[in-house]
Structure 1
Amino acid sequence: DPDTGRDLVRAAVCQAAVLHGPGDVRIVAVVDDAGRRQWDWLKWLPHNEHPLGAAMVYDTFAQAERALGEVLGRGPFDPGAAPVHPHLVVIVDGAEPGGSVIEAGVAGVTLLTVGHDREPAGALRLRLDGDRLTVRTESGDESIGTADRLALADAVICARRLARQRQPGRRAASDPAQRWCAELGIAGPDGTGVWPPHRDRDRLRVPIGTDTQGRLVELDIKEAVEGGLGPHGLCVGATGSGKSVLYL
């Protein structure tokens, strides 16, 4: 069942991303149109970002090989050689290799292929029967345990939580607030200092002025069942009476 296989591959990929930085592991996908929706979440992972900035999700092996030419120049896989970094994990879902260099075996590249009966030389074939995971050996199928599974929605959550992470010492390109503060010679903004925790009564409650007797007037937009005035209101006044100033 391809869907069960995708659950297993998602679990393996997310585990690799959580436990390894982009400097150690890069995650690539080669998928056809039918499978693209299953792997669109990879774009959130820093491990899926090409050095030039694009997400490494490709329609064909030919596209992937053009984009990854430097990595593919490492030479063929050699089990006795020292590990090379970053290691490339390539997810294949529906795409046909067509004599691909990647499928032939490249140093520091691992293919995770979903739903294909094709077995390239040196491939490890895993089979799922429900949650039971078996591996094909020379003597037949051997049960090796219960398969990890991760739903698509959970993979999206995992990837989005990792999206802001970067290698130590590398500043995210999309951090203008920190760059601006550095130019001015001041510390970066600390949201916890300007937005402290509020009691339930004070949540969504802000002072907007004083009444005719000098008493504080507060706007409380919590739902009425929570003791507030509700999220909807109407501000009435003549031209020049200060409605816009109140909103600001």
Structure 2
Amino acid sequence: MSTRYCVMSTGAPVLHPSVLNIMNNDVFYSFEDAYNVLVECRDIIPESKAVLDLVDQRMHPSESGKFPVIVIEGLDATGKTTLTESLKKTVNAALLKSPPQSLAPLRPRFDCEPPLIRRAFYALGNYITAGQIARESSKTPVIVDRYWHSTAAYAIATAVGGGVGNLPASGSEVYRWPEDLLRPSLVLLLTVNPEERQRRLRGRGLDQTREESELEVNHLFRKKVEEAYKRIEDPACVIVDASPTPDKVLQQVLLLMKNKCHL
């Protein structure tokens, strides 16, 4: 007796296969999950202990103080540094960065590690910054140069193969904010067209991660990063056209802060 089999076509899968491993492999959604990764690495990566010591010294609040917290996001050469410095002076704010300066000497070491370890390092950087935000926002407005949106957007874009169409759809749990991470009052995403960004990059000596360098040669990767930024929710990014002069961009942002943060 012979058995007959039928081959039938089927629809496309709901998620691209690479998406299945994103959660807690490429993007961490809790402090504990990221912390435990570096705990496991202490014997083979001595620098892990230095990171854990820094984390243990910081509080990990989920709420900010009484003053607003504004995060400035965007690719390199979109004007983040110029804008954040201007905002610091204009509204008399504290200026913080993520990852924090305390982790800067360790970044080259962890940038060479596999994605799981590298992502845990950057995730913990956000929690250290959150402790700084909580402390400063009890006294003054806080401006943050990059935060969780950057960590998640680059990780998702790296993990998902192919083009923008393979990214998880808007509303996916991949884009949700970690429940135990302090939420900012407002997140602004600076954008400029690729030609203008390339013009600004020329002649600049940038300290870039592997992924930031890839932006300059990989059009698809850049598109995925930009789209991932826009799909992250609660809080979502407010898009700001950063093509005009720095002064005009500053005025745009001050108006947004006035309307949305009453600042």
Max radius of gyration: which structure?
1
Q: Same fold (TM over 0.5)?
A: no
Bin for the TM-score computed over the shorter chain:
under 0.3
> Scaled by the length of structure 2, what TM-score is found?
0.23
The answer to which structure has the higher helix fraction is: 2
The answer to which structure has the higher strand fraction is: 1
> Scaled by the length of structure 1, what TM-score is found?
0.24
Q: Which has the higher contact order (CA 8 A, sep 6+)?
A: 2
